[in-house]
Structure 1
Amino acid sequence: MTDELKGDVVDTLTLRFTGEDENGVAIHELRAAHVAEVLQGLVGLTSDFDKAGVFSTEGPGSSEVLVRPAQQGSFLIEVVRIVTENWGSMVAVGSAVGIPSLSTVIWWATKSARAEVKDFDYLDNGNVKITWQDESAQEVPAAAWAELNKRDRRRKKQLRQIMAPLSDPQVSELEIASPPESEIEQVADHAPEKYVLTRPDYDAVRPDDEIEETQEVFEVEAQMSAIDFDDPTKWRVKTKDRKRSATVEDQEFLGRVARGLAIRKSDIFRLRIREDATKKNGRTRTVWTVLRVENDRRVAHDNDS
């Protein structure tokens, strides 16, 4: 295949997605939509760092990302980056100052999405030393540091695309590997030859403004108790399998309570509840609102409480 490429192959990496289905059988296929996202994310990430001059010592470069056929017997994506302009001279000059691989760029970008920068220093060798909030440190080229501080939302989207299969509960890991003999691994703090990304990494690159809101209305039997005398709408609701704080909007019920309705701990009411769920950055927050409290009630048996 190399003979057919119009340019010099300068970088390769493999992405291996592993996991098990509900029967414990190792996965051997991925959703086509997820694979498409992986490739889109890789192309976008490569293009941004290429235009920033990260892969070259002579300013913005011109390279292209290709995909080789997967090896039989596993779901393996082999990614090839080729450069079409003066790679030989770029390697000769770059060996002194450091040129990162695509694998290393993904490593840096993922780290920057997971951790906050505590401090940074410009070094005499032209690189930047980044100290993260977890006290770990990385040394990256100045061009990479500049790019890592741009396009945060787009960067997260690119990384999330690369890790898209991890949204499938059957996929547990993404292994990224570069050949140990890669001639461009010249940077002081390049990625390990092989590293693994998991679902927490996927959750960490969810765009900050990616918010999903859903609403559901249901009826359920529950016990109720007031929890805030200063705010009569705040109650504790206990169903058969859940206990939640809730806001009561049933004005007729609240009026009866204000007029002296006695509620015992063992009383069970029929409630109509609206559940508002907000999913942000991989976490879901739910709020209950009691829309209606049925007038009839019964005393709970021992096994109901």
Structure 2
Amino acid sequence: MAAEHQDTIVDTLTLRFAGREEDGSDLHELRASHVADVLHGLTGIAEDFDDAGVFHRDGPGATEILVRPAERGSFLLEVVRVASDNWATITAVGGAAGVPSLATVIWWATRSARAEVKDFDKLDNGNVKVVWQDDTAQEIPAKAWAELQKRDRRRKKQLRQIMRPLEDSRVAELDVSGLVQNGDDAPTETYVLRRADYDAVRPDESVEDTQDVFTIEAQMSTINFDDPTKWKVKTKERTRNAELEDKDFLAQVARGLAIRKNDIFELRIREHKVKKNGRTKTSWSVVRVINHRRAAGDNDS
């Protein structure tokens, strides 16, 4: 979609995927699904950092990502980030000064995903000086630094999408260059990403699966006569959905066992935890109802 005449190009990003075809000739085509991922990743990371205020100081800049026709040679994508007509107002008050390019943001995101931070300091100019494990340092705007600390899994997914063609054995590297059009003497940012960078931003798919069995006192917060998987157990610490596996107890309930709201049950619980991608899912199963009694002072019939 072409930009309307009032839109202003504020940022250009060139992605050049270099490599060899199977016959030894220069790379000249990519898989369509890979290119689609590149554009999805670029759009996502640009929107996140735009919403965080990284690309403007007095915005929002209402920016949009557009793609220009490719030139011949290797496989080259030229991407432009355009802003609506309020960009002129933003730049007039100095909003574009020191604004990073999209290429720079991708580099920061890739670096933060690959390397641990050794130290960082907030500077008087409002930026953050970040020292990486290899003792190299970068000065990053505070808003960009704050955004880099968020959405780790989502950020890695975006970077993986942008670098997806590197999954193809024909593609050896991705040359990135970018420039802020309205910046004050902004230099062109250039760097190369390779398959090691692509592998490094793979989201952690490791799964930890653990079980624990323990005895606890609880109340039956919810009783489901039709579905034993939809009971609810209330302890002093929490209320949790649970599956009733004690067939003898379920048979007693079916025969009319009276259960009062405040009855105290001694339960044998099996707790199942699955930790994946930093998130833990916990489920409870009531293996056995050891006994139950009326709560002290409970005179309900």
Please indicate, yes or no, whether the TM-score normalized by the shorter chain is above 0.5. yes
Task: Give TM class, smaller chain.
Answer: 0.5 to 0.7
CA RMSD of aligned residues (A): 2.4
C-alpha separation between the residues in 2 aligned to 1:64 and 1:45?
12
Q: Go from structure 1 to structure 2 and tell me whether the alpha carbon gap of 1:78 and 1:50 turns closer, same or farther (over 3 Å shift).
A: same
C-alpha separation between the residues in 2 aligned to 1:138 and 1:90?
26
Residue 156 of structure 2 is matched in structure 1 by 156
Q: Go from structure 1 to structure 2 and tell me whether the alpha carbon gap of 1:210 and 1:36 turns closer, same or farther (over 3 Å shift).
A: farther
Residue 197 of structure 2 is matched in structure 1 by 201
Q: Go from structure 1 to structure 2 and tell me whether the alpha carbon gap of 1:46 and 1:5 turns closer, same or farther (over 3 Å shift).
A: farther
Q: Go from structure 1 to structure 2 and tell me whether the alpha carbon gap of 1:77 and 1:91 turns closer, same or farther (over 3 Å shift).
A: same
C-alpha separation between the residues in 2 aligned to 1:59 and 1:128?
21
Residue 182 of structure 1 is matched in structure 2 by 181
- The 5 A counterparts of 1:41-52 are 41-52=41-52
Q: Which runs of 4+ in 1 moved over 4 A?
A: none
Residue 144 of structure 1 is matched in structure 2 by 144
Q: Residue 21 of structure 2 aligns to a residue in which SS?
A: coil
CA shift for structure 1 position 71: 1.1
The letter for the 2-side match of 1:205 is V
Q: Go from structure 1 to structure 2 and tell me whether the alpha carbon gap of 1:30 and 1:208 turns closer, same or farther (over 3 Å shift).
A: same
Residue 115 of structure 1 is matched in structure 2 by 115
The letter for the 2-side match of 1:19 is G
CA shift for structure 1 position 84: 1.3
Q: Residue 36 of structure 2 aligns to a residue in which SS?
A: helix
C-alpha separation between the residues in 1 aligned to 2:26 and 2:95?
41
C-alpha separation between the residues in 1 aligned to 2:25 and 2:74?
13
C-alpha separation between the residues in 1 aligned to 2:104 and 2:184?
9
Q: Go from structure 1 to structure 2 and tell me whether the alpha carbon gap of 1:106 and 1:144 turns closer, same or farther (over 3 Å shift).
A: same
CA shift for structure 1 position 114: 1.1
The count of residues paired between Structure 1 and Structure 2 equals 208
C-alpha separation between the residues in 2 aligned to 1:83 and 1:97?
15
1:20-79 deviations in Å (ceiling 9; x for gaps): 133322110000000000000000000000000000102543110000110134421010
The letter for the 2-side match of 1:29 is E
- Residue 72 (1) aligns with residue 68 (2): no
C-alpha separation between the residues in 2 aligned to 1:159 and 1:65?
16
C-alpha separation between the residues in 1 aligned to 2:122 and 2:170?
43
1:119-140 deviations in Å (ceiling 9; x for gaps): 1111100101111111111101
Percentage of pairs with the same residue = 63
Residue 7 of structure 1 is matched in structure 2 by 7
Q: Go from structure 1 to structure 2 and tell me whether the alpha carbon gap of 1:210 and 1:162 turns closer, same or farther (over 3 Å shift).
A: farther
1:119-174 deviations in Å (ceiling 9; x for gaps): 11111001011111111111011000000000000000000000000000110010
C-alpha separation between the residues in 1 aligned to 2:191 and 2:30?
20
For structure 2, which runs of at least 5 residues remain unmatched after alignment?
Answer: 208-276, 278-301
What TM-score results when the alignment is normalised by the length of structure 2?
A: 0.64
Q: Go from structure 1 to structure 2 and tell me whether the alpha carbon gap of 1:164 and 1:3 turns closer, same or farther (over 3 Å shift).
A: closer
Residue 33 of structure 1 is matched in structure 2 by 33
The letter for the 2-side match of 1:18 is A
C-alpha separation between the residues in 1 aligned to 2:5 and 2:49?
22
Asked if 1 retains the 8 angstrom alpha-carbon contact of 2:18 and 2:174, the reply is yes
What TM-score results when the alignment is normalised by the length of structure 1?
A: 0.63
1:266-292 deviations in Å (ceiling 9; x for gaps): xxxxxxxxxxxxxxx9xxxxxxxxxxx
C-alpha separation between the residues in 1 aligned to 2:206 and 2:183?
36
CA shift for structure 1 position 90: 2.1
